[in-house]
Amino acid sequence: MSEDVPESHPRHTSLVTRERIVEGVKRGLTSHAGLVAQGRGETFDYLLGERTIESAARAERAAAALMLGADHPVISVNGNVAALVPRAVGDLARATDADVEVNLFHRTEKRIERIAAHLRDNGVDKVKGLAGDATVPGLDHDRARVDADGIAAADVVLVPLEDGDRAAALAKTGKSEIVVDLNPLSRSAEAATVPVIDNVVRAIPAMTAHARSLAGRSDVELQGIAERVDADAAREYAERAIRSGDLR
Ligand code: ATP
Ligand code: MG
């Protein structure tokens, strides 16, 4: 349990985050594959120095601007996101007037219901994802399912920790896609309009803070901020930070 990890431990935040995923698996929110994904994420985060690098901070501001300027932004939530940042998802949804939709790679109705209940317990008012009455073209049946009045109708979708295939298929639909992924080389990050190479536990609260400070800006201003991010440059910056990282 997290209370057993002393705050003085150099990996305190990382260990607490890991425990939240383990807890998510125990509660039936997170899949076993989600554990492996977390491990991969930890590796990249370690190499990035477990901090938000400058290019990611810029991408987080751009992502907030993109969501604020959207007609219908949707935050896609999977088992890892639900275990790690349920409250922060609700805060971001309120700050950007976004829908929240549970969307699972390993889709089961039971897990969607559990995640939806967990999100509601953590202050997310309305949760989509159970309908699954529309599809993203180019994916096999279960992986393709989304809500017709949710992700299918969105103009901007935030997909933290998305599978590469699904991120690429969603990008092909012409929607703007914000991907949070610690691996700058992942296909998910490559598919993104705005890749946020950062840990979801830092990225989502940072996006909320940006959204709050950008509230009230005109659509033209928001568009300008969103467009200033160069996706290729953001991924390259992160890759350089990882390869040349000075961790101590
Ligand atoms: P792709 O198919 O996109 O090339 P992948 O198959 O390696 O990539 P998965 O293992 O399916 O990707 O998904 C895990 C991804 O999520 C990894 O890129 C990992 O770095 C990232 N990840 C895991 N935990 C976090 C986290 N807490 N915050 C941000 N990213 C994370
Ligand atoms: Mg991926």
pLDDT tens digits, one per residue of 105-136? 989 999 999 999 999 999 999 999 999 999 99
Mean pLDDT of 69-96: 98
Residues near ion ligand 2 (Cβ under 5 Å): 164, 186, 188
Evaluate: CB of 31 within 6 angstroms of ligand 1: no
Best residue for ligand 1 mutational test, from 18, 22, 32, 40 (most atoms within 8 Å of Cβ): 40
**The CATH fold of domain 54-244:** Rossmann fold (3.40.50)
The neighbour count for residue 12, using CB atoms within 10 Å, is 13
Mean pLDDT of 49-74: 97
Mean pLDDT in the chain? 95
Best residue for ligand 1 mutational test, from 46, 106, 179, 188 (most atoms within 8 Å of Cβ): 188
pTM metric for this prediction: 0.95
Would you state the torsion angle of the CA atoms of residues 128, 81, 119, 123, taken in this order, to the nearest 10 degrees?
Answer: -110
Distance CA 24, CA 49 (A): 25
Ligand 1, atom 12, lies closest to the CA of 163
pLDDT in tens, 131-157: 999 999 999 988 999 999 999 999 999
